Amino acid sequence: MLQNKVLGTALVLGIAAVLSLSGDAQIKKGKTRPLTTKQMMNGLVKLHCGGLAEGLKTAPADDKGWEELATKAALLNEAGYILMEDDRCPDADWANAAKQLREGSADVLAKLEAKDHAGASEAFKAVTGSCAACHKVHKK
Ligand code: HEC
């Protein structure tokens, strides 16, 4: 009886350890692809979010300027999809924040395509809101 109890406890602890490991792995990296969340944040998300924030300070002066901002918004939008792939997403908080990133960046993109600077700046608030929503729960 005692042996069974000890075995049972060991089993439960073992399962808990495996679960907590895979839970961690999902947040910091997907299951099969090499890109870590940290690399994605620095090289894709932060890069283009910062670039948009900087670029939106004043209305672009020419077509090239609008196109450069549109490229950043489109890549941020793509990041919102990548965040959901390869079993990286751990829960609904993550999924909702990724959705907000996709929707917010799609709105920014639409305003940029219409060369609506004020509209793009307003829509950009939802993008930065998505960063905070996910980080509050998942960034240690
Ligand atoms: C769906 C979740 C999610 C969203 C949305 C998100 N992040 Fe992150 N971010 C994370 C997680 C998780 C980490 C911690 C990664 C780690 O340390 O392994 C992180 C870390 C970071 C870091 C620190 C990287 C480092 O070197 O440690 C930066 C910068 C960052 N995010 C920027 C952003 C910006 C800007 C946005 C919004 C445009 C954003 N993130 C949106 C999940 C998210």
The pLDDT tens digits of the residues spanning 78-89 come to 999 999 999 999
pLDDT exceeds cutoff 90 at 1: no
The whole-angstrom separation of Cα 61 and Cα 67 is 11
Residue closest by Cα to atom 11 of ligand 1: 139
Architecture of domain 2-138: Up-down Bundle (1.20)
Regarding the beta carbon of 33 and ligand 1, being less than 6 Å apart is answered: no
Assign 140 a pLDDT band (cuts: 50, 70, 90): confident
Sequence-separated contacts (24+) of 33-36 with Cβ below 8 Å: 33/85, 33/86, 35/82
Probe residue for ligand 1, chosen from 45, 85, 107, 125 as the CB with the greatest number of ligand atoms within 8 Å:
45
How far apart are the CA of 63 and the centre of ligand 1, in A?
A: 31
Probe residue for ligand 1, chosen from 26, 27, 99, 134 as the CB with the greatest number of ligand atoms within 8 Å:
134
The per-residue pLDDT for range 10-48, each reduced to its tens digit, is: 555 444 444 444 446 789 999 999 999 999 999 999 999
User: Number of C-alpha atoms within 13 angstroms, CB side, residue 11?
Assistant: 6
Q: Output the pTM of the full model.
A: 0.87
How far apart are the CA of 54 and the centre of ligand 1, in A?
A: 19
